[in-house]
C-alpha cells in the first residue's frame, strides 16, 4: 500500500484526490491546503489538514500547487523522509533540491476543478534521482494510468511547450472561431462536431497528413475572399500568418 499526502486544493489536487481515492493499492492519508474552504471537496473531515507545521509521515507527498509556490511550500518538507514530487510541466526538479528525495509526477492533461476526468488515459511523466524512487513513482503512476513514462526535466519542459501549442493556443483558435460566429449571429455549436473530428483524425493520420483547407490547396481565391470577410485586425494578422505558414510547409508558391 502506498500512502500519499496531496498538497493543494486546485484543479490538479481535486482530480488527483478523486482518482487516487478509487485506486487500489493507494491510501490517501491527508489533503493539505492553506485554505479550509477550498478543501471542501474532501468530504471526510479526518483527511483535511491546514497546518503545514504538522504533516504526518507518508510514502509520497504530491505538491499540486501553483508553479511559483512550489519552492516556498517545499520548505515545509525539508526533513521528510518520504518522496516529495511536484506536478508541474514547466518547473525543473531543482526547485525541490533542498529536499531529501525530490521527484516529478506530471500528468499531461488539462484539468478543471468542476470536471473530473479519468486518469486511465492520461500520460504520467515521472522523474526522480535514484532507481528506487523511480520505481515507486512507476508503481503509483501505473496504478492510475496505462501510460507512465520516465522523462527528464529538459524533455518535460519541451513537452510542456508542445502542450501549450496543442492545448492553450488551440483553445485560443476556438475562441476566435466563437467570436467570428457571434459577430455574425451564427451558432458556435455548429462548429463543435468539426472541432471533435479535427482532434479525432489524429488517431489515423499524422497532423501533416491531416492538413486540409484553402492554404494547403494554395487556393488564393478563397484566401482572398476570407480576408475580405475578416474585419478584425488581429484576426487578419493571424489568418495571414497561419495561411502562409501552411502554404510554405506544404510547398505551395506564396
Ligand X SMILES: NC(=O)c1ccc[n+]([C@@H]2O[C@H](COP(=O)([O-])OP(=O)(O)OC[C@H]3O[C@@H](n4cnc5c(N)ncnc54)[C@H](OP(=O)(O)O)[C@@H]3O)[C@@H](O)[C@H]2O)c1
Check residue 212 for interaction with ligand X (CB under 6 A): yes
Stretch binding ligand X (CB under 6 A), from 109-117, 119-127, 170-178, 234-242: 109-117
Q: Does 208 bind a second copy (CB under 8 A)?
A: yes
How far apart, in whole angstroms, are the C-alpha atoms of residue 67 and residue 63?
A: 10
Selection from a second copy, ligand X, none that 142 binds (CB < 5 to 8 A by kind) is none
Please give the full DSSP string across the chain, using - where no structure is assigned.
-EEEEEE--SHHHHHHHHHHHT-TTEEEEEEE-S-GGGGTT---GGGEE--TT-----SEEEE-S-GGGHHHHHGGGTT--SEEEE--SSS-GGGGTTSSSEEEEEE-S--BTTB---STT--EEEEESSHHHHHHHHHHHHHH-S-EEE--HHHHHHHHHHHIIIIIIHHHHHHHHHHHHHHTT--GGGGHHHHHHHHHGGGTS-HHHH--SHHHHT-HHHHHHHHHH---HHHHHHHHHHHHHHHHHTT---
| Residue 30 interaction partner, one of ligand X, a second copy, none, beta carbon < 5-8 Å per kind | none
Among residues 22, 27, 57, 66, which is the contact residue for ligand X, using CB under 6 A? 66
- Residue 9 interacts, among ligand X, a second copy, none and using kind-specific CB cut-offs from 5 to 8 Å, with ligand X
- The interface partner of residue 146, options being a second copy, ligand X, none and the CB cut-off 5 to 8 Å by kind, is none
By beta-carbon proximity to ligand X, the closer residue of 29 and 86 is: 86
Does residue 166 bind a second copy (CB under 8 A)?
A: yes
Q: Mark the segment that binds ligand X (CB under 6 A) among 23-31, 66-74, 137-145, 242-250.
A: 66-74
Q: Which stretch binds ligand X (CB under 6 A): 34-42, 132-140, 147-155, 169-177?
A: 34-42
Site for ligand X in 67-106 (CB under 6 A): 67, 69, 72-73, 86-89
- Draw the binding track, 39-68, toward a second copy (x: CB under 8 A; -: no contact): ----------------------------xx
- Measured from the Cβ of residue 109, the count of other Cβ atoms closer than 10 Å reads 17
229 binds a second copy (CB under 8 A): yes
Measured from each CB, the residue nearest to ligand X is: 10
Q: Which of ligand X, a second copy, none binds 65 (CB below 5-8 Å, type-dependent)?
A: ligand X
Amino acid at each position: 500500500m502506498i500512502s500519499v499526502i496531496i498538497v493543494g486544493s486546485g484543479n490538479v489536487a481535486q482530480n488527483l484526490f478523486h482518482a487516487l481515492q478509487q485506486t487500489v493499492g493507494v491510501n490517501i492519508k491527508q489533503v493539505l491546503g492553506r485554505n479550509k474552504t477550498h478543501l471542501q471537496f474532501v468530504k471526510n473531515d479526518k483527511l483535511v489538514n491546514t497546518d503545514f507545521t504538522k504533516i504526518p509521515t507518508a510514502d509520497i507527498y504530491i505538491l499540486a500547487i501553483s508553479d511559483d509556490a512550489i519552492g516556498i511550500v517545499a520548505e515545509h518538507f525539508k526533513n521528510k523522509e518520504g518522496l516529495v514530487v511536484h506536478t508541474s510541466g514547466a518547473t525543473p526538479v531543482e526547485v525541490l533540491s533542498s529536499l531529501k528525495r525530490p521527484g516529478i509526477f506530471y500528468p499531461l492533461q488539462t484539468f478543471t476543478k468542476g470536471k473530473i476526468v479519468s486518469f486511465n488515459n492520461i500520460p504520467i511523466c515521472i522523474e526522480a534521482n535514484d532507481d528506487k524512487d523511480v520505481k515507486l513513482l512507476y508503481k503509483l503512476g501505473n496504478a492510475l494510468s496505462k501510460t507512465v513514462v520516465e522523462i527528464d526535466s529538459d524533455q518535460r519542459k519541451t513537452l510542456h511547450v508542445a502542450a501549450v501549442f496543442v492545448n492553450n493556443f488551440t483553445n485560443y483558435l476556438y475562441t476566435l472561431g466563437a467570436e467570428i460566429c457571434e459577430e455574425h449571429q451564427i451558432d458556435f455549436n455548429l462548429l463543435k462536431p468539426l472541432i471533435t473530428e479535427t482532434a479525432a483524425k489524429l488517431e489515423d493520420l499524422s497532423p501533416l497528413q491531416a492538413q486540409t483547407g484553402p492554404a494547403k490547396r494554395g487556393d488564393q481565391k478563397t484566401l482572398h475572399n476570407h480576408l475580405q470577410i475578416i474585419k478584425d485586425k488581429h484576426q487578419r494578422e493571424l489568418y495571414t500568418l497561419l495561411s502562409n505558414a501552411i502554404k510554405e510547409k506544404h510547398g505551395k508558391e506564396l
